[in-house]
Amino acid sequence: MPIEYASVRVVHKPWGVSDLRPWSSIDGTNDAVGELWFERADKSTSSPALLLKLLFTSEPLSIQVHPDDTFARAMGMSNGKSEAWYIISAKPDAKIGIGLKHQVTPQQLRASIRDGSIVDLVQWRPVAKGDAIFIPAGTIHALGAGIVLAEIQQHSDATFRLFDYGRGRELHEDDGVAVANTWPLRSGDSPVRFTSERTVLVASRHFVFEKLDLPAGSSWALLAERETWMLVLDGHAAIGLKAVSVGQAVFANGGRGSIEVGANGLTALVAYPAAAPVASLLQTLGEPSAGLFPRAAVPELTGLSEVRS
């Protein structure tokens, strides 16, 4: 199975940062960098189902909402946008906004967009390193300052801004009100320890998002029968014939590849389109790892982890 290095698209944002180390050597001093998009290097290939990103915030992002598949297709788009975040680092006072404090009518939501009071309507909460958050399409959300995170999302850039802290960019009142859920977001499922090496952060109808913790010097087989993205958070490894380290991402699809873990171990995020964790994704090349769940119990995790948008 060929393993591809992901190419990186740099996205400049007014709320971005100048120093992206250790994730990238790109200098954002003259034009702040807000996002790094990991993409397939060969642009002639079919568009992936998922988009993997790193986000860096020095200021709050806009309060925004994304359409679901039904609304997006009615607008001529291929799909909507559900997403998930993994917090890599966060300053002590960092916070995110997810959903609303209480239910409102569409008319009340529209009024809050017009007068800016939507900032007080959003449910804000603190975040810390290691938090995982699922944002189903239709959920009003925002990121505060002082956060570095990895995001996996449906491959779409459909974003409707509802408040932008006076930056002068266009707001999307009509579309935002049409697609937004005007009630609090129910509590999401907690991460599930799938095996001793795999933690399922989010399992939704559109994708599974996992964290891998592989011990130093170990050898593994990666069975990526479907589109699979991997982003290195710590350590290094040889994946197929590709040497990867912190901040690098690879893409695999169709077949079997090897992972040879370096002397410092490997911590990585993995994402693939599925509604439940794929049990065969990672296999040890030494003694089998029983993990915390016997093989027969794997299907039962579908109900535990699945979050529908």
Q: How far apart are CA 157 and CA 6, in angstroms?
A: 19
Q: How far apart are CA 72 and CA 32, in angstroms?
A: 30
Only one residue has tokens 């009100």, namely 177
Residues comprising the chain, all counted: 309
Question: What are the residue numbers of the active site?
Answer: 161
Q: How far apart are CA 14 and CA 164, in angstroms?
A: 11
Q: How far apart are CA 7 and CA 30, in angstroms?
A: 22
DSSP 194-229: -SSSEEEEEEESS-EEEEEEE-TT-EEEEE-SS-EE
Q: How far apart are CA 300 and CA 306, in angstroms?
A: 11
